[in-house]
Structure 1
Amino acid sequence: MFKSTEKSVIVEQAVEWLLLIKQGKLTEFEKNQFEQWLSQSHLHQKIWQQTIVLEQKFKQLPAEIALPVIQQQPSKTHNGHWLLLLGSFSALWFAYLLNEQQQWTADYRNGKGAAKTVLLPDGGSILLHANSAIDVQYTSQQRKIILRKGEIWIETRPDAAHRPFVVSTQYGQAQALGTQYSVKIEQKEAYVAVEKGAVKVQPQNSTQYKVVHVGEQIRFNQQKIGAVEALDITQLAWTKGLMMVDDMPLSQFIERLKPFHRAFIYLERDVEQLKISGTYPTDNMSQLYEMLEQNYQIQVNQYAANRMVSISAKK
Structure 2
Amino acid sequence: MPGAADLMPGAQDERLDPRVAREAAQWLMRMHPAAEPDEAERRACLAWRASHAQHELAWQRAQQFNDRFVVLPPELGKAALGRKTVRQRRQAVTKLALLLTMAPAGMLAYKHMPVAAWRAAYRTATGERRSVQLADGSRVEMNTGTAFDVVIDDVQRLVLLHEGELLIETAPDSHGALRPFRVRTDEGFIRAIGTRFNVRRDAAWSEVAVFEGAVEVAAGEGKRIVAADEQLRFTAHGLAATEPLVSHQAAWVDGMLQADDQTLAAFAAELTRHRRGWIRCDPAVAGLRISGSFQLDDTDQVLRAVAATLPVKIRFHTPYLATIVPA
TM-score, with structure 2 as normaliser? 0.65
- Report the count of equivalent residues: 253
Q: Does the aligned pair in 1 maintain the 2:269–2:279 contact within 8 Å? A: no
2:278 aligned to 261, 264, 283, which one? 264
| Counterpart amino acid of residue 260 in structure 1 | H
Which SS does the other structure have where 1:179 is aligned?
A: strand
Q: Does the aligned pair in 2 maintain the 1:298–1:311 contact within 8 Å? A: yes
> Is 1:142 equivalent to 2:156 in the alignment?
yes
Give the aligned partner of residue 300 of structure 1: 314
Which SS does the other structure have where 1:260 is aligned?
A: coil
Question: Taking structure 1 as reference, are residues 262 and 51 closer, same or farther at Cα in structure 2, changes over 3 Å only?
Answer: farther
Give the aligned partner of residue 188 of structure 2: 172
CA distance in 1, matches of 2:161, 2:179: 19
CA distance in 2, matches of 1:244, 1:280: 6
Q: Does the aligned pair in 2 maintain the 1:114–1:241 contact within 8 Å? A: no
Identity %: 27
Give the aligned partner of residue 31 of structure 2: 5
Q: Does the aligned pair in 1 maintain the 2:133–2:139 contact within 8 Å? A: yes
The CA deviation at 1:218 is: 1.6
> Which runs of 5 or more structure 2 residues have no equivalent in the other structure?
1-27, 34-41, 46-57, 66-86
Q: For each residue in 1:111-150, what CA deviation from the matched residue of structure 2 results, as whole angstroms up to 9, or x when unmatched?
A: 2113222221122221222222111111011110011122
Question: Taking structure 1 as reference, are residues 298 and 164 closer, same or farther at Cα in structure 2, changes over 3 Å only?
Answer: same
1:155 aligned to 169, 176, 187, which one? 169
2:106 aligned to 59, 79, 87, which one? 59
The CA deviation at 1:38 is: 8.6
Q: How does 1:1-315 map to 2 (within 5 A)?
A: 5-6=31-32, 12=59, 15=62, 36-37=88-89, 55=103, 58-59=105-106, 100-161=114-175, 162-203=178-219, 205-206=220-221, 208-302=222-316, 304=318, 306-314=319-327
CA distance in 1, matches of 2:238, 2:277: 38
| Counterpart amino acid of residue 176 in structure 1 | A
CA distance in 2, matches of 1:14, 1:175: 38
> Which runs of 5 or more structure 1 residues have no equivalent in the other structure?
19-34, 61-91
Q: Does the aligned pair in 2 maintain the 1:114–1:282 contact within 8 Å? A: no
Which SS does the other structure have where 1:131 is aligned?
A: coil
Q: Does the aligned pair in 1 maintain the 2:271–2:299 contact within 8 Å? A: no
Which SS does the other structure have where 2:135 is aligned?
A: coil
Q: Does the aligned pair in 1 maintain the 2:264–2:290 contact within 8 Å? A: yes
The CA deviation at 1:223 is: 4.4
| Counterpart amino acid of residue 322 in structure 2 | V
CA distance in 1, matches of 2:29, 2:313: 41
Question: Taking structure 1 as reference, are residues 4 and 154 closer, same or farther at Cα in structure 2, changes over 3 Å only?
Answer: farther
CA distance in 1, matches of 2:278, 2:258: 22
CA distance in 2, matches of 1:147, 1:55: 27
Question: Taking structure 1 as reference, are residues 225 and 51 closer, same or farther at Cα in structure 2, changes over 3 Å only?
Answer: same
The CA deviation at 1:185 is: 2.1
Q: Does the aligned pair in 2 maintain the 1:113–1:260 contact within 8 Å? A: yes
Which SS does the other structure have where 1:198 is aligned?
A: strand
Which SS does the other structure have where 1:271 is aligned?
A: coil
Q: Does the aligned pair in 2 maintain the 1:282–1:288 contact within 8 Å? A: yes
Question: Taking structure 1 as reference, are residues 296 and 59 closer, same or farther at Cα in structure 2, changes over 3 Å only?
Answer: same
Which SS does the other structure have where 1:290 is aligned?
A: helix
TM-score, with structure 1 as normaliser? 0.67
Which SS does the other structure have where 1:147 is aligned?
A: strand
CA distance in 2, matches of 1:238, 1:220: 21
CA distance in 1, matches of 2:240, 2:286: 32
Report the structure, 1 or 2, having the larger helix content.
1
Question: Taking structure 1 as reference, are residues 291 and 40 closer, same or farther at Cα in structure 2, changes over 3 Å only?
Answer: closer
| Counterpart amino acid of residue 222 in structure 1 | A
Q: Does the aligned pair in 1 maintain the 2:210–2:230 contact within 8 Å? A: yes
> RMSD of aligned C-alpha atoms?
3.7
